Structure 1
Amino acid sequence: MASINENNINPEKYLLDTLNNLDIGFVKVSNDGIILNHNLIFNQIFGYNPEKKLIGTKILDNWLNSEEENRFIEDLYKKGIVKKYIALGKKVDGEKIFLELNFRLNKNFNGETISFEGTLIDVTKRIKNERKLKESEEKYRLITENANDLIAVLDDKLRYKYVNEGYKLLGYSKEEIYNSKATDFIHPDEVDRAIKAVRKGLTSGTGLEEMRVKHKNGKFYWFEVKGKTFRDLNGETNILLISRDITERKKIEQKLKESAENFRNIAEHSLMAICILQDDVIKYANQRMADINGYSLEEIMNWSPGEFLKLIVPESLDLASEQAKIKQSGLPGAIPHYHFQIIKKSGEKIWIENFSRIINFNGKPADLMIFFDIIGKIKAEQKLKESEEKYRLIVNNQTDLVCKVDSEGVILFASPSYCKTFGKSEEELLGKKFMPLVHEDDIEFTLKEMEKLYSPPYTATMEQRALTKDGWRWLSWVDTAILDSNNNVKEIIGVGRDITERKNSEQKLKESELRLRKYMDSATDGFILFDSKLNYIDANKVTQQLV
C-alpha cells in the first residue's frame, strides 16, 4: 500500500474500481445508517442511475422491511463481522431481490464503532434456481416414492444404491434389498439374459427387457424393466431401473396366443372357407378357401389390393364389392348373409352362401367372411322345387280331398277339391280354423277314431257324413299325424274321398237283399243259391227244413 500512496492513488477508490470489475457491490454506512461511500455496482444492484450519488441517503430505503435490517444490524454489532448473510432487498421500482451480504464493523483507536462496510452480491437468480431445484427434487421424491413402478439405482456391480417404496410390492424390506444384488431376485432361467442386457446397456446407455422377478412369497411375477446408465458426481457409472408389473398383461397375451392357436386349428380344419379382408387385401385365408376357388394359398395371399374381385361374377360384382367396402370401413348397412356366384380358377361358376360381419383386426375394421359351396344345395333345392311342383299338379288335379292342419286345427293347406266340396275359397280357409259339420249319428264314432292319431301308428280311418255345399255327403277319411322331435303331434294330414255313391249302392243292395230274403222265406218251394262255381251261398227256410 506504501507504493500506492507514494503514487498518490486513493486506496478506497482502487478497491471500488476492483469490485466494480467483479460485479460486486460495495457500501460504507455510518452508525446512524447514512451511506458514506458506494461503488457503481451498488447502484446497478438496486436499479439506480449509475451516475447517481447515494452518499448521504439512508440505507433503509433499500431493505424490503426494517425488521430485516434490524436483525442484520443486531447480528453485525454482536459478532463484529457477518459473512454470506442472505437478505431480502428491493430495487428502486419495488422489485424484490435476494442479496448475499459480507459486512464488518469499523472502529477507532478507542475501540468505538464508527461505521460498517461490506460487499453485496445479487444472488436472486441463484436463489430462485435453488428453490426451483428444491421444488423439482421434492416433486421427484413424491413421484418416486408414490409410484406403483419399482424404481432403483444400481452400481455397475448390480448392487442396490437406492430403491423407492414400490419395492414393498415384492414383500421385501429395504434392508433385505440393499443387502442383495439385482440378480438375486431374477428367475434363474433369465439371469444370463439379464446380465447380457446390463452389459449391452452399459455400452448403449439404455435397455428394455421383460423378465420374471421373485416375490418374497416365492412366486414369480412378470416385469417390464427399462434401464438407463448415468454417471454420478463422482464420475461412477450407475444404472437407473424402472420396473412395471406386467403379469396380468402376460396372462392376457397368453390367452390371446391360445385363442389365436385355437382359431387357427379350427379354421384350418373347417369345412367352410374363412378369410379376412382389409384394405382390399386378403389378410388371412384358410385352406378350404383355396380348395373352393381353385387358387393356391400362396397365390391368394399375394393378390394385390382389389384383385380378389376377379372371383366375383359380373352379375354379383356390385353387391359383393359394395358389402366389402362397407364392412372394411365399419359403416352401417352391412348385410350379414347373402348368396352370390364366383368364378373358379378353372373358369367354372359356382354358387356360394356367404356369412360376413365387421370385425376389429389389428386395430382397424375388417370384413370377416365365412362361406361354403352350395352348388349341391342349389341342385337339391331345384329338384325339391320340381318335386313339389309335380306334387302340387297331382294334388290340384285329383278328385280326392287333401288338407293339412296344425295342432290347433288351423288349416295350413287345402286342395282345390277340398275347397270345392265345402264351397270355400283357398283364401277363406288358409290360416283359419274350419271343421266341417259332421252328422250327429257319426260324431261319436269320428271322435273315437281321431284319438288313434295320438298313439302309434298315429293314423285314423273313418267314414262319416259331412255337410257340404251339395248337402250331406258320405266321406271316407285317412288321417295321418306328423310328429315333432318330442313325438308330439304338430300337424295332421287328411285325405278324403266322396263315397256317397258307393254308400247309396250299398244301401240299395242291402234293401234288395232284404226283399229277396222276404220273398224266399215266403215261398212254399225250396230255393238254393249258388255262385258261378256252384259254391253254396244261401237257402230259404223250406230248403233248410228239408235238409
Structure 2
Amino acid sequence: MCNDPNQKQANSGVRNLASWLATWQQELVFYQIDSEGNLTYVSPSVEPMLGRSPDSMLGKSAREFFHLDHSMQSLIEDLSDQRATLSGERPRLCVAERTNGEIVYLGIREHKQRDALGRSVGREGMAYDITEHVNAELSLRESEMRYRRLVEGLGGDYVIYTHDPSGRLTYVSPSVKSVLGHAAEEAIGLNWRRFVGEQSSGIEEIERLKAEAVGGQGFHQFSVETLHADGSKRLLEVQERALYSEDGEFISMEGIAKDITEISRTADELRRLKEKLEERVADRTRELQLKNEQLRESEARYRHVVEDQSEFIVRLSSDLTYSFANEAYCRYFDRSREELLGQSFLPTVHEDDRARLEAEIRLLSPARPISTVEHRVKRPDGSVGWTHWSNRAIFGNEGRIEEFQSVGRDITDLKLAADTIRKKEAHLAHVSRLATMGELVAGIAHEVHQPLHAAKTFAEAARRNLEAGLPEGISTAIDCTKEISEAINRTAKIIRHLRAFTTAKPVQFEQLDVNEVVQESAEIIAYETRRARVTVRFNLTAEMLPVQGDRVQLEQACINLLMNAYEAMAETPLDRREVVVSTFCNGEVVRISFQDAGCGVDPKDRDRMFDAFYSTKPNGMGMGLSLCKSIAESHSGEVYSQQNEGPGMTMTFVMPCSQSYSKKSLS
C-alpha cells in the first residue's frame, strides 16, 4: 500500500484523465481515410452516433457516410462552430444520415497523413455531433427571416427602427416611406433628432427617457411630433426597448413607431364632439327637466279633468282587468278604485251581452283599433242599466293588444226614452194604418163583397140543382160548394191581412221573404191599384230574399211607397201609368225599388220629403214617407229617392239581408 500523499494525488489525476479521455472518445468519432478516399479506420463511437458498426463502414468511401454534397449542405456552410477547437480553426460542417434516415449534422477536423518521405497517404480526423447546435442556428435563422419579412413588408402606419447610443439610426423599415416620406436607405445613418426637430412637441420627454435608458431603464413609451418630407407634422406613438451588453452597458435601442396623426385628429374631433354633445345633453336635460315639470303640472290638470268628468274613463289590461277607473265610474258601481284594480271588467256586463262584447273585442286590430258598443250592466241595487262605450285598443310592436282605453256614459234614460219613442212611433204607425184603411174602406168593402157575392151565387145555384132532383144536379151542386169554399177562403184571407195590418202589437222581428212581403202588400191595395188605373209590373229576383224584419211594418212601408207612386201619377196619361217594383240583393243588403212615371218632386222639396208632417199634396198629412224612414231605420236600413232620367222618381228601401243568405251567396 502506498502511503505517499503525492503518489495518491498523482494516481487520482491519472484516473480522472483516463475518465475524461474515455468520455471524450465516446463523444468523438475518430477515422482514417486512405488516398482513395476509403475508410481504413472508424472508432467504435460511430455506432451510437450514426447507428452503424465500424466494420460496416471500413473499405467504403467516406463520402457515402459524410455527405458533403447533401441538399442541406448549402444551408449550413455559413454556420460557424461556436465551440472551441484544439487548433482554434473553424471546423468543416457536413451532413450524415443515421440508419433510420434521421439527419445528423457533424463538425469535422481533419489533417493529412504523410509517409517518411512527406508524401500524402491519406487523412485522419475526428467528427462530433453538432445537430442540436445547427438546428438551433437554423431555427434562429428562420425566425430572423420571418421577422425580416414582417419588418420589410410592414406598411401602413408602423415603422420599426434601431439606433446606437448616439442616436444614429442603424436600421429603419421600408414603411418609413409611407409614414414620413423618406426612403429607408436615406434615413439609415442619420440621427433620429433630424426627424423630430428641436421645437417638436414631446422632445423634452424623449430626451429624459433616453437618459433613463442609459441609466438602465429598459422600456418606455411616448408620443412625439415628427416632420414629414413634405414639411407637414406627423404624430407618432413610440415604444422602445434598450439593449445592453453583458456588463450592463447601453449599446442599442430598438423601437416601433405608429403614425397616430389621423387617430389623434379623430380623437380631438371626437373630444370636441363629446364636449359639444355634453353641452347639448346638458341643454336637453334642462329642457327635459322643464318639460317633465310641465308634464307633471299637465298630468295634475289632466287628473283633475279625468276625475271631475261625468263620463266613465277606464283603462283595462289585455286580459280585461282594471288598471285605472275614474271617480265617476267608481261612483256608478258603488266601488272604490282599490276594489276595482286588478279585477275583471266582464262581471259588470249583463250575461246576455257578454258574448257580443267579447266578439266585438276580437274584431279589433291595428288597422281597426277603435270600436263603439252599447251593452247592459248590472247596477249595485240589482237594476239593469245601459252604457255606451268608445273603446281604443293599444297594440304593441308584435301586433298584440297591450291595453284598452275606454270612455263611456250611462244611457239608461236615453234607452227608456228611445223605447217610449218606439212605442209612440208604433202607435202612430198603427193610427196611420187605420187611417190608410179608412181611405181604402170602399175598396176593401169591394174586395170583400166580390167573393161573398160569388159565394151567394154558387149557393143559389146549388140549391136549385138539388131541388130539381136530377142525378146530374147533385154533381153540379158539389162543384158549386167547392167554389163557395174558395170564395170564403179568399174572404178570410183578406180579413186576416186586414186584421194583421190594423192590429196594434209589439214589433216582432222574424225571418221573412222580401218578395212575398211585396206581393202581399200589392194584394192589400189591389182595389186602389185598379181605381188609380195603374199597372204594377214586378221585377223580382227568382230566389227568395230572406231578411229579419217585422212583417206588418214592412208591408206598411211598401203600401205607403206604392200609394205615393199612385198619387204622383194622378196627372199622368193612362197609357203611361206604370209602377215597376224591383228587388235585388248583393249578399249584404236587400233593395226594394218603386219606380213611377209621375210628376216627380221639386228639387227644393227633395231634402224635406221624408220629414214628419211635410207634404206637397193639398190634403196630405206628411206621415207616409216619414213612417217609411222610421221603419227603414228600425230595420238598420234607409230609404232614399232618385229622379229618373225620364219622368217620375224611384223610391228605394234598403235593409240588411239575413246571414243565411250572405253565407249562401259567398259560398
TM-score over 0.5 (shorter chain):
no
Per the normalisation by structure 1, the TM-score is: 0.45
| Greater share of strand | 1
Larger radius of gyration: 2
- TM-score (normalizing by structure 2): 0.38
